[in-house]
Amino acid sequence: MRIDRVRLFEVSLPLVHGFVTSSHRKTGLTHLLVEATDTDGIVGWGEIASPADPYYGPETTATAWTIAERYLVPAALSTSWEAPQDLEAGWRRIRGHEFAKAGFSIAGWDLHARAAGIPLAADLGGTRTEVVAGVSLGIESTLDELLDQVTRQVQAGYARVKLKIAPGWDIEPVRAVRAAHPGLDVHVDANGAYADSAESTAVLRALDAYDLTMIEQPYAPRDFVAHARLQAQLDTPICLDESIVDVADLRTMLTLDAGRVLNIKVSRMGGLTAARRAHDIARDAGVPVWCGGMHEFGVGRAANVAISSLPGFTLPSDVSGSDKYYARDVIVPAVTAHGGIVQVPTAPGLGYEVDVDWVLQNTSRTLDLTAAAV
Ligand code: OSB
Ligand code: MG
């Protein structure tokens, strides 16, 4: 198989509801879409879901564009491949830049599954026909607004709610949500906002009283030792997100007992092959996993649904319906959840069609290269 043409689109869409985390606030997103066409004319799509700014990880939209233009597009156009892993080998020597690589990995996997005429989920070895979705709720200005958001999502049928926390917005919102929804599957995500101090440890230990499913990424990404020390003092499992960008990080987590749940993000791990490998390792170690999101547009969201169909994804994934985020998504139909459940598509590849007209209407920058040009 050979990719003959790659188009890159820088696409911006407004969010239906602004989103605040411990590190930043956003009202819209800009992601890069990758369209890869092979020599038979089959088209695969991928999404580079890097945040605009380097507050989640080191990448930005601008670094992703540069890495794509200078390295990934030329690699994609000059690699002859059968399995998506062989395509990914074309950029193996590039260190880091996982989000940028993930966009090309998804496009390669989509192309591979479409050429084989099978759904991406099946191509990855997925076995589930439906996926349980959870929602991620940002920090709100008041407890009432947060409670309103939680009630709205519970009424929409979502069975798991994740709350963003930060120093000063932790015990109170958790106590309020727990009081209003005693049996709800609730977890919290700090995006690394806590310092490894006695004061923070006391706050995080106090969260043990609220029957949370997990506490996600309390400390800085590289600080496995602080997470291990905290885990030893908590009943609530720690879940690592930002800390785990490759399987070596996962082995560190398992060896140190720095976390007991894994958030797998296709973007953060550099693509679908790496995400699947992390799933396999976690499953062998008896560690439950779920699929995290980056507010993906439909292309990345569809990839998240596909990976979530693997058997080790036993916890609800951040694959809520497109409508929670975007009034009109870039795929047709949009990803929808009914009663908090998303069906795994049965059509070939990602299982959705990209609305190219809508993509173009929201595109601020494009790149269009063919194999003959590199
Ligand atoms: O930590 O999971 C996170 C969004 C942007 C950056 C980091 C995170 C998130 C989310 C969004 O929580 C989850 C989703 O896409 O539904
Ligand atoms: Mg997270």
Ligand 2 mean position, distance from CA 215 (Å) = 10
Closest by alpha carbon to 296, among 51, 88, 131?
51
Q: What is the pLDDT of residues 28-46, one digit of tens each?
A: 999 999 999 999 999 999 9
Q: What is the pLDDT of residues 333-347, one digit of tens each?
A: 999 999 999 999 999
Ligand 1 mean position, distance from CA 62 (Å) = 20
Q: What is the pLDDT of residues 171-214, one digit of tens each?
A: 999 999 999 999 999 999 999 999 999 999 999 999 999 999 99
**C-alpha span between 63 and 32 (Å, rounded):** 11
Please tell me the predicted confidence (pLDDT) of residue 21: 86
| Cα dihedral: 91, 94, 100, 102 (round 10) | 50
**Could you give the percent of the chain with pLDDT greater than 90?**
96
Looking at domain 123-343, its CATH class is alpha beta
**C-alpha span between 369 and 373 (Å, rounded):** 7
Residues 6+ apart with CB under 8 A from 356: none
Please tell me the predicted confidence (pLDDT) of residue 164: 97
Confidence of residue 22 (pLDDT cuts 50, 70, 90): confident
> Residue 328's CB: how many other CB atoms inside 10 A?
15
Cβ–ligand 1 contact at 22 (below 6 Å): no
Active site residues: 164, 265
Structure tokens at 216: 């996600």
Closest by alpha carbon to 265, among 303, 225, 314, 210?
303
Q: Is the pLDDT of residue 63 over 90?
A: yes
Mutate to test the pocket of ligand 1, among 30, 318, 325 (most ligand atoms within 8 A of CB): 318
Distance from the Cα of residue 317 to its chain's centroid = 9
Helix, strand counts (H, E) of the chain = 13, 15
| Cα dihedral: 113, 2, 280, 208 (round 10) | -80
Backbone angles phi, psi at 123, to 5 degrees: -60, -35
Looking at domain 3-117+353-373, its CATH class is alpha beta
Ligand 1 mean position, distance from CA 190 (Å) = 11
**C-alpha span between 242 and 220 (Å, rounded):** 8
Backbone angles phi, psi at 180, to 5 degrees: -80, -25
Confidence of residue 23 (pLDDT cuts 50, 70, 90): confident
Distance from the Cα of residue 75 to its chain's centroid = 24
Which part of the chain is CATH 3.30.390.10?
Answer: 3-117+353-373
- CB–CB of 289/261 below 8 Å? yes
DSSP 313: B
Which part of the chain is CATH 3.20.20.120?
Answer: 123-343
Long-range CB pairs of 203-207 (<8 Å, 24+ gap) are 203/167, 203/170, 203/171, 204/230, 204/234, 205/233, 205/234, 206/171, 207/170, 207/171, 207/174, 207/236
Residues 6+ apart with CB under 8 A from 106: 34, 44, 45, 46, 47, 266, 271, 272, 299, 300, 303, 350
Which atom, in ligand 1's list, is nearest to the CA of 189?
Answer: 1
Q: What is the pLDDT of residues 262-283, one digit of tens each?
A: 999 999 999 999 999 999 999 9
Backbone angles phi, psi at 208, to 5 degrees: -55, -25
Structure pTM? 0.97
Cβ–ligand 1 contact at 294 (below 6 Å): yes
Q: Is the pLDDT of residue 243 over 90?
A: yes
